[in-house]
Amino acid sequence: MLANRLILFTFSIMLFACSEPATNTEQKPSQAANSNIEVGKDYHSFSNPESIKVTHIDLHLKADFTKRVLLGSASLNVERQVENANELILDTRGLSIENVKDGNDPLSFTLAENDPNLGAALHITLKPTTQTVTIDYATSPQASGVQWLTPQQTAGKQHPFLFTQAQAVHARSFIPLQDSPQVRVTYTATITTPPELLAVMSAANDPNTPRDGVYEFNMPQAIPSYLIALAIGDLEFKAMGERTGVYAEPSMLEAAAAEFEDTENMLEVTEKTYGAYSWDRYDLLILPPSFPFGGMENPRLSFITPTVIAGDKSLVSLIAHELAHSWSGNTISNATWRDLWLNEGFTTYLTYRIMEMIYGTDRFNMEAVLGYQDLQADIKSLPENDQILAVDLRGRNPDDVFSNIPYEKGALFLRELEHKIGRENFDAFLMQYFEDFAFKSITTDQFTAYLDKTLLTQYADTLSKERINEWIFSPGIPSGAPVPSSNAFSVVDDAREQWLAEEVQANSIDTKEWTVHQWLYFLNNMPRELTSKQLLELDTSFALTQSKNNEIAHSWLMIAVHNEYKPAYDRLYDYLVSIGRNKLVKPLYRELSKTAEGKAFAKRAFEEAKPGYHPLTISANEGYVN
Ligand code: BES
Ligand code: ZN
């Protein structure tokens, strides 16, 4: 079986070994190594870029906060890849299509049946001369990629807010387009909003634009559709450095700018190590707490959860992560969702490196250990197929397969390469990789073919193809992989062990100098079962239920739920109702759902929170409460 896989794999490498970096649509289909997956085929898009490709999108949209719809038009420039091709297929989800035109001439179209994961294909018949297709449409108030917030759900409570989240397959819920990461487009947009609000996009934003309710945008670099993003709200801007700044609601602006003041430095060290930043400005947008992710690397303007504003920069690796995507993800993108690890694994590797350059090796080691432990937990709980970097997502919604595998296993793989060939050499490789594939979308197989021509040739004595295949196509962590360690955690282990052995009392542990990471390590490595006496002692000594750090609170609440420590349940309820970030709330819902009483509690919190939750947070958690 394994031998078979290797033969197939070698065969597919031979096919690609001589091809130059190219967008995926230029490749011949072949079979992937680990199954009969067609390499480069996007199983999550109905579109047909191999025959007609969209190259530019011009949006004219009005945000109607009363009806909760975006209404207007998208004009798509098309380029025929096959002579005489006349059918353009686009992705949509929940869109009302009013009409489709070439200039003033109507074009005939049909909207196919809706697929629950993928939405509905829009088939448009072009004229032989058609170069631009204009679609008049409106989004649905339930669009999976748009969240409409009432004033009550914002920090300022005065104005409504809107934000989009397109990754992985949700751009189609607010724009009819070829929603595949292998299709790269430039875009322009005119967005009309209530005049007191500001619109920002993943494009060139002018911090000094007059606030008049009409905003123009230009994204001159070709990006995949999942990076198209829009937000509208009572936003103000504050510069953090020459090329960096932050947009936030007024009451959050100062705290955000202070928390993330190292962003400019991060940008500079990353450029020094991995090559010039390609996107002009790098700004942050702070969203309301319902944002379902920690961050989203929308180009030029990362979208950021406010839950990381801890007051002490303890959670700013998120910023390093979203910034790093400017290289790994936005400049080079995954060609299909199977290749997500190329985005997230490289970015996680870069994140650690950036954090080390800015905050030093102690922090690097601590974050590496915590990341490794998250990975180990996933390896324990996920089915083998989902432990593979190049994961098979056919027939599945990419949202359902979110885990630490593409992130931490991907990063660990790269760390092993680094250790084997030396840091300087590996950095030089990465810089060249970013340059060679700039503004391209690539598959795992293109990456391995590239490794063949580069590192595997240059370091033939040190690296082996079998080992690389094991990392990418086998479950688990290969034996002999690097294991991170941190001296700063030894004292924490000692303290925990002594306390568990009742050799010391909690309040006599010297925690004055402990960092947030040490606290997380202290809590995450407690035995699963603790007595109520032990929980009470921890809580009275360290006020864990009251922790303002959302990660520490999360770790503590996980312990509290598992051990039914009721004094923390008011806090737990508030936490679930006020935060929509899935990484923080989903494990709590999952843990609560394990007992009837917990489930009833979870249901109460969920029902109260639901009107404020993002569609993705609702769909990720409703199974735990119903
Ligand atoms: N691009 C991801 C978010 C994402 C991934 C959205 C896949 C949809 C599908 C973003 O860069 C990310 O990784 N966010 C993490 C940050 C963390 C690892 C530092 C998050 O939101 O938790
Ligand atoms: Zn990421």
Backbone angles phi, psi at 501, to 5 degrees: -85, 5
Token code pair at residue 453 = 């021509």
Q: Which residues of the chain have pLDDT under 50?
A: 1-31
Catalytic member of 137, 407, 575, 624: 407
Best residue among 117, 163, 296 to mutate for probing ligand 1's pocket (most ligand atoms within 8 Å of CB) is: 296
Catalytic member of 249, 259, 322, 591: 322
Separation CA 104–CA 399 (nearest Å): 39
Residue in 175, 188, 183 with CA at minimum distance from that of residue 122: 175
Token code pair at residue 537 = 């002692």
| Burial (0-12, 13-18, 19+ Cβ within 10 Å), 116 | exposed
Best residue among 117, 223, 287, 293 to mutate for probing ligand 1's pocket (most ligand atoms within 8 Å of CB) is: 293
Separation CA 299–CA 315 (nearest Å): 21
Centre of ligand 2 from the C-alpha of residue 322, in Å: 6
According to DSSP H, which parts of 275-339 are helical?
317-324
Question: pTM for this one?
Answer: 0.94
Specify the pLDDT at position 14: 36
Centre of ligand 1 from the C-alpha of residue 293, in Å: 6
According to DSSP H, which parts of 243-360 are helical?
250-259, 263-274, 317-324, 340-359
- Give, using CA atoms, the residue closest to atom 22 of ligand 1: 294
Among all chains, which residue has been given the structure tokens 């999550």? 44
Query: Based on C-alpha coordinates, what's the Rg of the chain?
Result: 25
- Name residues contacting ligand 1 (CB within 6 A): 167-168, 293-297, 318, 321-322, 325, 344, 407, 583
Separation CA 124–CA 132 (nearest Å): 12
Q: Which ligand 1 atom is nearest residue 344's CA? A: 13
Q: Which ligand 1 atom is nearest residue 399's CA? A: 9
Specify the pLDDT at position 21: 37
DSSP 14-38: HHHHTPPS--GGGSPP-B-TTSSPB
433 is an active site residue: no
**240 touches 205 (CB < 8 A):** no
- Give, using CA atoms, the residue closest to atom 20 of ligand 1: 294
**99 touches 136 (CB < 8 A):** yes
Specify the pLDDT at position 8: 38
Separation CA 387–CA 377 (nearest Å): 11
Separation CA 494–CA 235 (nearest Å): 47
- What is the CB-side half-sphere exposure of residue 225 using CA atoms within 13 A? 33
Backbone angles phi, psi at 128, to 5 degrees: -55, -25
Among all chains, which residue has been given the structure tokens 């503004």? 439
Element spanning 10, H or E:
helix 2-17
Centre of ligand 2 from the C-alpha of residue 329, in Å: 8
Specify the pLDDT at position 400: 87
Specify the pLDDT at position 131: 98
Separation CA 409–CA 366 (nearest Å): 17
Specify the pLDDT at position 34: 53
DSSP 74-143: EEEEEEESSTT--EEEEEESS-EEEEEEETTEE--EEE-PPBTTTBEEEEEEPPTT--EEEEEEE--TT-
Best residue among 344, 348, 370, 579 to mutate for probing ligand 1's pocket (most ligand atoms within 8 Å of CB) is: 344
Specify the pLDDT at position 35: 67
435 is an active site residue: no
**215 touches 199 (CB < 8 A):** yes
Q: Which ligand 1 atom is nearest residue 398's CA? A: 9
Q: Which ligand 1 atom is nearest residue 322's CA? A: 11
Separation CA 590–CA 598 (nearest Å): 10
What SS3 class is residue 380?
A: helix
Specify the pLDDT at position 401: 87
